[in-house]
Structure 1
Amino acid sequence: MSPTAVTTPKRDYRGRFAPSPSGPLHFGSLVAAVGSYLDAKVNQGKWLVRIEDIDTTRVVKNADTDILNTLQAYGLYWDESVVYQTQRLSLYQDVVTSLIDEALVYGCRCSRKQIKAIGGIYQGHCKTLNLPTEQGALRLSQKYPTTHFSDLIQGDITVNSALAYEDYIIKRSDGLFAYQLVVVIDDIEQGINRVVRGADLIEPTARQISLFKQLNKPTPEYAHLPLAVAEPGFKLSKQNYAPAISISNPKPALIDAFAFLNLPVHAQLHDLTIEQLIAWAINEFSLTKVPRIPEIQISQEQHLNSTKFIHLSK
């Protein structure tokens, strides 16, 4: 089945860009920022920025400030105050406590090594042991496994059923709340109704949909943009030391991001200001124009602002 048609503006649109402050923005994260921003503005909606710093072990000092300054340099201005996950710990704990009270959470002492040894999927070993929830990891009893969902770009998605049924961790043994939990709570609290992000998050989406159902809250629409990859299966990322995009000279990379999203770029765009480029892109953008593939390979010259892309994984 083809992706859901997106032809009329979505009412009361609320979208977001949610980078982790583990380093500066690279071209792949720029594509996600631009795609989510343009979709929000095409729908006359709100575009929020959320700093996902819940995993404090990966936070780089001042990376959040650098990210926010970069977004502004590229003409991407958020509509409400920036939210930091580390400022919302009490909200997350309230939800966890509520789930514990409903007997939907249990303690687990299985290590990653132990789970890897049995194939990488947790098999519910601790579910009936009545371990204390005050220490160790906490797992959510999966009541609404999701194996299929519809994506506005990628179409009908089927995920690994074993993962869909797995009781996954919502609070780690080191006391940190898990991404799968906090991203859903944040989207609920901020009223997010469409999530536009990279295709590397397609599989986690199934668990997030399940948690929305578990919490009896509306599920956002999802649109997963193709990933920018240096070679098949090797995405640009901070962990892979992808080079940072320029703050002082944003125009070339911004135009490259437009080309990546299949906008009809042309040479005259280089004569426009950043504000004019954004206005042009809003007029041209549509989710229906985005390539319906999970990856697009960029040439080695991409970081020198080449707009030549190789479409992969049809």
Structure 2
Amino acid sequence: MSGKKVILITGSDLADVALRMLEDYEPVFTGRQPTEAQLIALCQQHNPVAILVRYGKITASVMDAAPGLKVISKHGSGIDVIDVEAAAARGVMVRAAAGANAAAVSEHTWALILACAKSVIPLDRRLRAGHWDKATHKSLELEGRTLGLIGLGAIGSRVAKIACAFGMKVLAYDPYANTVPPECERVDELKDILMHADVLSLHCPLTQQNKGMINASTLAYCKPGAILVNTARGGLIDDAALAAALRAGTLRWAALDSFSSEPLSTPHVWEEIDNVILSPHVGGVSDASYVKMGTGAAANILQVLQTSSQTETTH
């Protein structure tokens, strides 16, 4: 080891420019999908001053294994994998690279919406099997339809702007948003947005209050034939209830980029459901966002460590 203080990176790589930002520290990579036991062992071995979180969960036990820990910085915007209350109790700062992947996630959201509305996957499969469905197929035209957004942060706001280019009406439900973009009409009750949305897209963080918010009761409010897209967090949806709605045809399509348990293992509930599109939580990962998330996470670490150092010096 170099003698430098350690920054633990829960992954196997980081953008080169972000690594150069952290050159005064020793980076230690955990590898992909580290377990709690592995994280604890590495913390006990290296006592990192910072943890840069790409994969895995940072629990109270992990924090306790690193008494010198000052900051936990997320490589992205979602901090639900970090025990924020435990960090606060231990005086450990938690930071996120807010907005760094907004363009990537909003683009992926629209890729999924369009794939559902235009039946991209089933048409491809049938054509490869020798069928020519031109005379019988009708896709869903988005112009004049209603997009319902749950969550109106950096990502939801970008999705709203793109919807306007398609000529869609945009309804937004976000009780925590102080302002609403001019493209959106605010809705105060969740059931109201479910009742009117032809396409429903989730863009809110996962909390104890909204866990399982899309369930049998709320799905009952949805318009028949609606499309549901989730590029936020899997825990927002009750999988069994969504699967039942898709099988019954209550929903036309769903597209999921995140899951309550990751990585998605087999067997799983979606294997036998044809009207769902799956992607492995890659919405926020693009060539550009990889760099932006890395540099954002690194900048957050440096800011906290610099402030901590100055405070210690004055005392």
State the TM-score, normalizing by the size of structure 1.
0.26
State the TM-score, normalizing by the size of structure 2.
0.26
Name which one, 1 or 2, has greater alpha-carbon Rg: 2
